Structure 1
């Protein structure tokens, strides 16, 4: 019989309000990012990554740092409290963004996270449009 995994630091990420019927009983236990992981995040050259690659990086981190949790699921007639899985942690943008922010240590309201993500997406779209326009005019 193997010994249980030893976790030095754990954080409770509140998922309250991220889905219908989710109150303070809905949460995820996660491990915070290490210094090495923060350096990796800081060294990412997001200008060279596609939006899909950036999202995949974030989702991988969420799954990697997920330990356990509780959420409410709809069974067809009512909501019931259930054990959360790593797949549940990336089931929606709101859940994944909130957990990722808690892993990294951002202290933002989920609404602010969504706004920041939208602004980033617009910036990426604007940069790609500008690149297309400038290359078209240089021909």
Structure 2
């Protein structure tokens, strides 16, 4: 088995859902280049959305180290508890957030400008 570097990343889950505070987080290992290439190969191969989603869920669970999330107790009250792999299956928002952070992709629409640039107008030549 190849050696694994002890590199982890703490991902804030604050605001992921109503009542999720800075106490909610996930600790994950980042993707390796080989894994990123495997993912790119899947998307280039035209795999179905179902195949890609199955890959995403499995991938996130593989990289999950630990964390804390809110769960509902028997009385329907929020309770901070350990993040479990099956929690990834229960929340699309959680799975998407963790996946994008693990592979280092930013899908935040605010991160890119929607403004279009125009070419500068040249002065008319004589």
TM band (smaller chain): 0.7 to 0.9
Higher helix share: 1
**Is 1:66 aligned to residue 61 of structure 2?**
no
Name the structure 2 match of 1:39: 37
Name the structure 2 match of 1:29: 27
Per-residue CA deviation, residues 75-102 of structure 1 (Å, 9 max, x unaligned), is 1332111011011123211000000000
Please give the alpha-carbon distance, in whole angstroms, between the structure 2 residues aligned to 1:91 and 1:46: 28
Check whether the contact 2:66–2:82 (CA below 8 A) recurs between aligned residues: yes
Name the structure 2 match of 1:93: 92
Please give the alpha-carbon distance, in whole angstroms, between the structure 2 residues aligned to 1:26 and 1:93: 16
Query: Which segment is superposed worse, 12-21 or 96-105?
Result: 12-21
Name the structure 2 match of 1:115: none
Q: SS of the counterpart of 1:32?
A: coil
Shift of 1:50: 1.6
- Larger of the two Rg values belongs to structure: 2
Query: Structure 2 length as normaliser, TM-score?
Result: 0.75
Structure 1 portions without partners, runs of 5+: 1-5, 113-139
Structure 2 matches for 1:50-61, cutoff 5 A? 50-61=48-59
Q: CA separation of 1:45/1:70 partners in 2, compared to 1, >3 Å: closer, same or farther?
A: closer
The alignment's C-alpha RMSD in Å is: 1.7
Please give the alpha-carbon distance, in whole angstroms, between the structure 2 residues aligned to 1:63 and 1:70: 15
Please give the alpha-carbon distance, in whole angstroms, between the structure 1 residues aligned to 2:88 and 2:67: 9
Check whether the contact 2:42–2:52 (CA below 8 A) recurs between aligned residues: no
